[in-house]
């Protein structure tokens, strides 16, 4: 889980995950096109880090490398965050009651 958190700490890697969340898989070149301010080598390093963290899988197809989002590490993060959702929900509910009582 720490590896996934570290990988997702970078905004570019977050954008790559968001990009792949909307599709089954994308070739590396197409992902790189989504980041015109970065070199292909820089995007490749981001992809490698996400792959090493288990967030992406890659397969070769002819000359292309196709990347796909792996839901497992994200599910682990979601389960960990779920413990805190209820705490925040209680705090928001209490705030709502306080505001309504103040009216």
Q: What are the structural domains of the chain?
A: 2-102 (1.10.10.10)
The share of the chain scoring above pLDDT 70, in percent, equals: 100
User: Looking at 39-43, 63-67, 83-87, which range is the least confident one?
Assistant: 83-87
Would you tell me how many other CB atoms lie within 10 Å of the CB of residue 52? 11
State pTM to two decimals.
Answer: 0.81
Q: Is the pLDDT of residue 21 over 90?
A: yes
pLDDT tens sequence across 73-88 = 999 999 988 888 888 8
Give yes or no for a contact between 50 and 16, defined as CB atoms under 8 angstroms apart.
yes
């Amino acid at each position: 889980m720490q590896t996934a958190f570290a990988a997702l700490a970078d905004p570019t890697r977050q954008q790559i995950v968001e990009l792949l969340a909307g599709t089954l898989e994308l070739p590396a070149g197409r992902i790189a096109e989504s980041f015109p301010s970065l070199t292909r080598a820089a995007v490749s390093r981001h992809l490698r880090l996400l792959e090493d963290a288990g967030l992406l899988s890659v397969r070769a197809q002819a000359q292309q490398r196709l990347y796909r989002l792996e839901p497992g590490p994200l599910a682990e993060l979601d389960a960990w965050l779920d413990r805190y959702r209820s705490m925040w929900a209680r705090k928001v509910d209490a705030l709502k009651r306080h505001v309504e009582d103040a009216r």
